[in-house]
Amino acid sequence: MNRVFSRPLFVALAVAASATGCRSPICGAGTVQLEDNSGELHCVASATGERSCDAETTVFKNGLCVSKTICGPNTLPHLVPDPDDGEKTRVICISADRTDDCAALNPGPGEVSISGSLYEWESGQKSMRKVRFTAHDGTVFLTDRAAPALMEDTNSKGCYAFSRIPKSENSVLAVVVDDPAGEPDDLQLGGASLQVSATGDSGVYKLDLYFVRKTTIAAWSADSGTDYATLGAFVPCFCNSTASGPRNSLLNECHEPRVKDVELTRNGSAATSAKYLVNANTIHPALSRTTLQGCAVDVASGTIDMYTGNGPAMVNWNTMTGMSAPKAGIHDAAVFFSRFYRK
């Protein structure tokens, strides 16, 4: 079979191949590769509870397994299933100029349109995993988990688009990600919510989404003593940037390192139930503010709450809606992610 690669992809793969050459040590059992500040790789003892990295394709850095693949100019990394091992994923480089597979139509009066890309929470990489996307009225999702979705789509394009959804009175929209029907149930129900304009809107909202594994939620619960698999969670991340537009909540604008020393507030007061992450998989129960990972984990009140951040000095944050949904019968608890930007 003939395969045709675009020039940017070919260049990216060539760069990636040269970047993962002879400097990679072969690490034995009980060790992982660790990258130091100069970029050199070393074999170090694997700490208890440390995520096991695939030494062939990744390196352990800042608490995460990070791909060795380096994408060249005008290309972007994408996470795709490994065709040789369904339990693993691999990074490929694709052209940054590719046509958007998920372009939403401009809304009409009384409507809202929304689109976004899909990311894996644990790695922070874009993903083309097959998932089910659903759109919901935020209040209805919290009060009636059996209510049908406003719109839904199952695909492996790494993105979604919902066009011309009728606006609800409360103007809070939730978009949720889960395993497709009939697929192994290894993802926690996850998503994001946003408050849309109550008046006319001529543009499309951009809301990127994470999917998160149940094993990660179990690790958070063990670290914190809070059963997030039953109660659900709200996960705000404080970005070291401003939003590119009033309708945008894009993950490529919220990379690590994020902002340290932020205290989460809910409905005007400190969110005393909040815990703080040291990496994507680990909560430090003694912390009262964010680390450079920049994210917290909270259990919302059961309604749509208003969240923001307090600190560090001279930094102000936007205020946004936030929610989490507990387990209800056959319906999994939901974990909602959100990005906060400097004002």
Q: Among residues 335, 191, 340, 321, which one has the least CA distance to residue 258?
A: 340
Q: In the beta sheet, which residues pair with residue 320?
A: 307
For residue 204, CA distances in Å to 103, 104, 116, 174, 301 come to 9, 7, 10, 15, 29
221-242: pLDDT as tens digits: 999 999 999 999 999 999 998 8
Q: What are phi and psi of 9, to 5 degrees?
A: -65, -40
Instruction: Kindly state the helix (H) or strand (E) to which residue 245 belongs, with its residue range.
Output: none
Q: What is the mean pLDDT of the chain?
A: 79
pLDDT band at 97 (very low <50, low <70, confident <90, very high): very low
The percent helix, strand, coil of the chain (3-state, each to 5) is 10, 40, 50
- Residue 114's pLDDT is 92
Domain spans of the chain? 7-95, 102-343
Q: Which two tokens stand for residue 148?
A: 């049908």
Question: What sign has the CA pseudo-torsion 183, 187, 190, 191?
Answer: negative
Residue 321's closest CA among 185, 133, 141?
Answer: 141
Instruction: Determine what percent of the chain is predicted with pLDDT higher than 90.
Output: 45
Say if residue 74's pLDDT is above 60: no
Q: Which residue has the higher pLDDT, 247 or 130?
A: 130
Q: What is the pLDDT of residue 266?
A: 94
Pairing of strands 320-322, 305-310: antiparallel
What proportion of the chain, given as a percentage, has pLDDT over 70?
68
Tokens 């509870």 locate to: 49
pLDDT at 104: 87
Structure tokens at 23: 């400097």
Q: Is the peptide bond before 312 cis (omega within 30 degrees of 0)?
A: yes
pLDDT tens string 118-170: 999 999 999 999 999 999 998 899 989 999 999 999 999 999 999 998 877 66
Q: What is the pLDDT of residue 109?
A: 82
CA gap 177, 180 in Å, rounded: 9
Tens-digit pLDDT profile for residues 252-309: 888 778 999 999 999 999 999 999 999 999 999 999 999 999 999 999 778 888 999 9
**Looking at the predicted structure, is the pLDDT value of residue 23 above 50?**
no
* Window from 2-16, 20-34, 187-201, 300-314 with minimum mean pLDDT: 2-16
Q: Which of 77-91, 275-289, 309-323 has the highest mean pLDDT?
A: 275-289
Q: Are strands 111-120 and 209-213 parallel, antiparallel or unpaired?
A: parallel
**Contact criterion met (CB below 8 Å) for 113 and 163:** yes
Please give the pLDDT value at position 92. Answer: 61
pLDDT of residue 22: 40
* Contact between 176 and 140 (Cβ < 8 Å): no
The pLDDT of residue 214 is 96
CA nearest to 18, candidates 94, 57, 69, 76: 69
Q: With a threshold of 0.95, does the pTM exceed it?
A: no
36: pLDDT strictly greater than 60: no
Chain-centroid distance, C-alpha 211: 6
- Does residue 99 register a pLDDT over 50? no
The pLDDT value recorded for residue 105 is 87
Listed range (24-33, 248-257, 314-323) with the worst mean pLDDT = 24-33
Single-letter amino acid, residue 301: S
Please, which pLDDT band fits residue 110 given cuts at 50, 70 and 90? Answer: confident
Nearest to 115 by CA among 180, 163, 52, 54: 163
Q: Which of 59-73, 79-93, 272-286, 296-310 has maximum average pLDDT?
A: 272-286
In single-letter form, the type of residue at position 130 comes to: K
Distance from the Cα of residue 202 to its chain's centroid: 27
